Amino acid sequence: QARSARLYTEEDPVVILSSDNLKQTVFNSSSAWLLQFYSSWCGHCIQYSPTWKALAGDVKDWAQAIRIGVLDCAHEKNFDICKEFGIHFYPTFRYFKARDTTNDFGKTYRGADRELQTVRQLMVNFIQNHTRQDWPVGCPPLDPVRSENVLSLMGKKTEHYTAVIVEDGDSYMGREVILDLMPYEGIAVKRALSADKLLMEKLGISSVPSAYLFHPNGTHTVMNVQKRLRFFFSSFLKLLPGVHRKQSTSSLQRPQPGNNGQGTQVEWKEFKKSKVYMADLESGLHYLLRVELATHKTLEGEELKTFKDFVTVVAKLFPGRQSVVKLLETLLEWLVSLPLEKIPYDAILDLVNNKMRISGLYLSEQVQWVGCQGSSVALRGYPCSLWTLFHVLTVQAANRLDALANTGFEDDPLAVLQTMRRYIGTFFGCQECGKHFEEMAQESLNQVKSVDEAVLWLWRKHNQVNARLTGSMSEDPMFPKTQWPTPDLCPTCHEEQEGLHVWNEQMVLAFLKQHYGASNISPKYSS
Ligand code: FAD
């Protein structure tokens, strides 16, 4: 199938089905399914595909209860199966119940309203149409709980948090939050109704929606979120200490600690999520210069140019300690002054490790991950520090407009991003990452026209990577991949429009400039 004709790709959060797997997938499945049978030549289907992708992304965490799929009836391979399923119009929306052994062809949704919020609510209704016998495996109850079941939790010690969303009977938010938290452990979410006056009174709730939180230690409080929106409640709960994503089978096969050469994690270092740590940035530079580059025996041609440009950008923009900045500047002067077209890596190492140390220029050889600590040494660390470094550099480029004067990069809003792109493509040890990053760059980097847009582009792309990696092997269960900044870090960054979470990008930009700005970099733990 021609790429141009494909409305959905593996990158999208939808499951792409075909005649090969449709029946096995949707018949007698542990979860319910909502499928769109579309045709790649149908104008409506093309126009609707962004909504469908947004919906699938929005309910990705509901997968144990209901999943979203697509099947292209215009694909020759699928002609027969679409006929067998009686698909006459495109798009056709079909629901398939969980654990249904009747092998029927699903129930068609004929409503004219296909707005994201409407379809999402229909999905909730559809889940609730299951009986006790065919209830999707792993899906918690969605019916409201009674006051006695909530009040009995008071003062009781438990192994997990319990959140109770109190809301009006026609509100969907509580059920949506229950489903959002389904893949997480350490938390149970329930829904209660505002019509339950005894409960409202006992919990001291006067307006809804509200959420009440019972802690494992037996204490209880009203949950304090800045905005009473689904995203704020869900985010708050996902970030509670001890709440993390359940380990998937793939994450159980994670590499064991100690085998990736990133040094061993000894002691846990307390840190604030609202800060950036110099120790992470310096450890990242150490790893980059002494470990990652070391795999290249000599640097020449494009590689050498990429490295020089990288050192230029970092030397000019890195808001680091004087000894480190001076080291980077000296390295740059040395690289620029050498008439060689080929530099042995050992010469760079000798300069960084020995020659500069004599003049007091020193980059610690100790790996100290702080904000980038992982729950095991195989997680987080270096890639986290590299993201952090490049966010800091894009913000520096936007805050200090003349910093790149006389470098050949002046007036180039893409200076940092293009350098990052080439560094990642040439040297970054994770080749898959490089490939994905290059695809994202090819798609939209040319739309970046200012240094502020560069800051936002990197933020957007990083979130795209976060979304793709949710639940993957590289996700640290203690640091679940989220759309960042979370509402606790930046409440004004988040808004809701017609039931869908949207970013206030102006606020995001201001936040990024503050968060990754020089004055928010903490020197704590940098040795
Ligand atoms: P990271 O994603 O590394 O983020 C580090 C910190 O940045 C977070 O703790 C948070 O404070 C902040 N942050 C998070 N999101 C944003 C945002 N949107 N904007 C600004 N700051 C943010 N791994 C793969 O498995 N597959 C890939 O294809 C892949 N591609 C990558 C591409 C690049 C360019 C890089 C640098 C890394 C890539 N990785 C990939 C690694 C992966 O993205 C993570 O870096 C790694 O899994 C460690 O995750 P983390 O939890 O430490 O958070």
Spacing, Cα 53 to ligand 1 middle (Å): 22
ipTM over 0.95: yes
Q: Is 42 tagged catalytic? A: yes
What is the mean pLDDT of the segment spanning 197-215? Answer: 94
Spacing, Cα 463 to ligand 1 middle (Å): 8
Pocket mutation for ligand 1, best pick of 465, 509, 516 (most atoms within 8 Å of C-beta): 465
Spacing, Cα 224 to ligand 1 middle (Å): 28
- pTM for the model: 0.77
Q: Is the CB of 384 under 6 A from ligand 1?
A: yes
Give the CA radius of gyration of the chain. 26
Among candidate residues 163, 526, 135, the one with its CA nearest the CA of residue 363: 526
Quote the CA–CA distance of 362 and 390 in Å, as a whole number: 21
Domain 147-245, CATH number (from 3.40.1710.10, 3.30.200.20, 3.20.20.70, 3.40.30.10):
3.40.30.10
Give nearest CA residue, ligand 1 atom 15: 484
User: Each residue of 316-341: pLDDT tens digit?
Assistant: 999 999 999 999 999 999 999 987 78
Pocket mutation for ligand 1, best pick of 253, 387, 391 (most atoms within 8 Å of C-beta): 387
Tell whether the model's pLDDT for residue 88 goes beyond 90: no
User: Each residue of 107-156: pLDDT tens digit?
Assistant: 999 888 889 999 999 999 999 999 999 999 989 999 999 999 999 999 99
Tell whether the model's pLDDT for residue 265 goes beyond 60: no
Which H or E run contains 220? strand 220-222
Domains 3-128 and 147-245 equal at CATH topology level: yes
Q: Is the CB of 372 under 6 A from ligand 1?
A: yes
* Residue 297: band (very low, low, confident or very high) from pLDDT cuts 50, 70, 90: confident
- Say if residues 161 and 150 touch (Cβ distance below 8 Å): no
What type of residue is 144? P
Give nearest CA residue, ligand 1 atom 41: 383
User: Each residue of 90-104: pLDDT tens digit?
Assistant: 899 999 999 998 888
* Residue 3: band (very low, low, confident or very high) from pLDDT cuts 50, 70, 90: very low
- Say if residues 191 and 164 touch (Cβ distance below 8 Å): yes
For domain 3-128, give the CATH superfamily: Glutaredoxin (3.40.30.10)
Q: Identify the pLDDT of residue 248.
A: 56
Domain ranges for the chain: 3-128, 147-245, 276-522
What is the mean pLDDT of the segment spanning 405-411? Answer: 91
CA torsion 17→23→29→31, rounded to 10°?
A: 40
Please report the sign of the dihedral spanned by the C-alpha atoms of residue 308, residue 311, residue 481, residue 450.
Answer: negative
Pocket mutation for ligand 1, best pick of 274, 384, 463 (most atoms within 8 Å of C-beta): 384
> Quick one: which atom of ligand 1 is closest to the CA of 379?
48
Encode 353-386: b = buried (16+ Cβ within 10 Å), e = exposed: eeebeeeebebeeebbbbbbbbebbbbbbbbbbb
Q: Is 490 tagged catalytic? A: no
Q: Identify the pLDDT of residue 72.
A: 93
Token pair, residue 430, equals 């994770």
Does domain 276-522 bear CATH number 1.20.120.310?
Answer: yes
